Amino acid sequence: MNEYIGFNRPYLTGKEYGYIENAVESLHLSGNGSFTKKCQTYFEERYGFSRCLLTSSCTDALEMAAILCNVGPGDEVIMPSYTFVSTANAFVLRGAKIVFCDSRTDHPGMDEDQLEALITPCTKVIVPVHYAGVACDMDKIMALAEKHGVFVVEDAAQAIDSFYTDGRGVQRPLGSIGHLAAFSFHETKNIISGEGGMLVINHPEFEKRAEVIWEKGTNRSAFFRGEVDKYGWMDMGSSFLPSEMVAAFLWAQLESLDDIQSRRKAIWTAYYDALSLHPVLKNYLPQRPEWTTNNAHMFYLVLSSLEQRSDLIAFLKTKNIQAVFHYQSLHASPFHLQREEPVSLPNCERYSDCLVRLPFFYTMDQGRVIEALNQWKG
Ligand SMILES: *Cc1c(COP(=O)(O)O)cnc(C)c1O
């Protein structure tokens, strides 16, 4: 039997252990030390983000965003139903009502044209999710947000190093456009630290408060910069910052960002080129709007039915290859249905039933996966 090819295998650049050792030897083990600052500065300089704060997860960054936007009971937050539970939980924890938007027909991202009809006087935040690193139409979303006076929090968990070309032809990094943005460095993402994430603050008025919420509701960061002579309890907050060992791991990955991205793009292109010649699968290739780049976060196909998808997954399993489906629609989840009336979001339901993701990681033997796919007759 051929060696097992799983859906994901974390990639190590080789520098991780050395930097973790440095962090340990420095005896600054808690957060907000030199590796944390190096990573934050890297993102600020490379992508022009106004301010970055590393967090223990993207989930944490989303929870910080919900606190910063002062989301509370009676507020509504609009997001796609085709997303990870953390996008919704962050706002549910603050007592908000979640209003789900359907996906686009050509892509799982939210259908920007259905957005305005969902906005009410209670809407506080819109959360576009850049699924597979594919940009939502941020011009349209930001214009609606401005018109209705709501915040935009980009769920950029999968969107590192991806860009949106705006109406004036300017390429803008995802995560730099909304008032706030959240990234993930979970081991399934392009750049990893085990668990890990980052909050990006683009709206300067949020900067000071973000740092306080990050440090358990205290002005400890300002104290260590010498700006105040003692630190105290200033606001609500939690322990959202990662330890220096985690930041050291992340730093090793960031040093190889260009290499990791070029390898992932080569894998993506090889899948696309090979499957463009496949008699069945050529009909189910991913599509993306013209305004987005491709950061090669994943390679998915949208098949014609649940049965066909199950057949492909089962076939690949006989070849010792793991392909996986993705989100179950949140609007149809047991938790949401306990709280809200049922709605029908047909595009989202189609992605829940028909989308399948192929194995995708730096060190993979892609030839074997393509060979297996070529043996599948659909
Ligand atoms: C991975 C992911 C998250 C959660 O990231 P964590 O770092 O695991 O908390 C949130 N939203 C989306 C769209 C994701 O893909």
- Please state the φ and ψ torsions of residue 118, each to the nearest 5 degrees: -90, -10
What's the CA-to-centroid distance between 26 and ligand 1, angstroms?
31
The helix or strand, by DSSP H or E, that contains position 165, with its residue range, turns out to be strand 163-165
Structural domains in the chain? 16-255 (3.40.640.10), 257-375 (3.90.1150.10)
Whether ligand 1 lies within 6 angstroms of the CB of 213 is answered as no
Whether ligand 1 lies within 6 angstroms of the CB of 197 is answered as yes
Q: What is the mean pLDDT of each run of 10 residues along the chain (378 residues)?
A: 93 98 98 98 97 98 98 98 98 98 98 98 98 98 98 98 97 98 98 98 96 96 92 96 98 98 98 98 97 98 98 98 98 97 97 98 97 95
- Give the pair of three-digit tokens for residue 93: 């924890």
What's the CA-to-centroid distance between 216 and ligand 1, angstroms?
22
What's the CA-to-centroid distance between 99 and ligand 1, angstroms?
19
Contact residues for 151 (Cβ-Cβ < 8 A; gap 6+)? 69, 124, 125, 126, 145, 178, 179, 180, 203
Whether ligand 1 lies within 6 angstroms of the CB of 56 is answered as no
Whether ligand 1 lies within 6 angstroms of the CB of 129 is answered as yes
Q: Rounded to whole angstroms, how far apart are CA atoms 378 and 376?
A: 6
DSSP 349: H
Q: Rounded to whole angstroms, how far apart are CA atoms 252 and 69?
A: 33
Atom of ligand 1 nearest to the CA of 60: 9
What's the CA-to-centroid distance between 157 and ligand 1, angstroms?
5
DSSP 11: -
Atom of ligand 1 nearest to the CA of 130: 13
Q: Which is nearest to 310 in space by CA: 356, 352, 277, 266?
A: 356
Whether ligand 1 lies within 6 angstroms of the CB of 243 is answered as no
Whether ligand 1 lies within 6 angstroms of the CB of 186 is answered as yes
Q: Whose CA is nearest to atom 5 of ligand 1?
A: 58
Q: Whose CA is nearest to atom 14 of ligand 1?
A: 157
Whether ligand 1 lies within 6 angstroms of the CB of 86 is answered as yes
Q: Rounded to whole angstroms, how far apart are CA atoms 192 and 248?
A: 11
Q: How many CB atoms lie within 10 A of CB 97?
A: 17
What's the CA-to-centroid distance between 58 and ligand 1, angstroms?
5
The β-bridge partners of 163 are 173
- Give the pair of three-digit tokens for residue 213: 């919420």
- Please state the φ and ψ torsions of residue 39, each to the nearest 5 degrees: -65, -45
Q: Whose CA is nearest to atom 2 of ligand 1?
A: 157
Specify whether the CB–CB gap between 43 and 200 falls below 8 A: yes
Q: Rounded to whole angstroms, how far apart are CA atoms 169 and 172?
A: 9
DSSP 109: S
Q: Rounded to whole angstroms, how far apart are CA atoms 219 and 198?
A: 19
Alpha-carbon distances of 121 from 73, 89, 113, 340, rounded to whole Å: 14, 22, 19, 18
Whether ligand 1 lies within 6 angstroms of the CB of 55 is answered as no
Q: Which is nearest to 370 in space by CA: 293, 287, 301?
A: 301
Which residue among 62, 81, 158 is best mutated to probe the pocket of ligand 1, counting the most ligand atoms within 8 A of its Cβ?
Answer: 158
pLDDT of residue 2: 84
Whether ligand 1 lies within 6 angstroms of the CB of 218 is answered as no
What's the CA-to-centroid distance between 158 and ligand 1, angstroms?
7
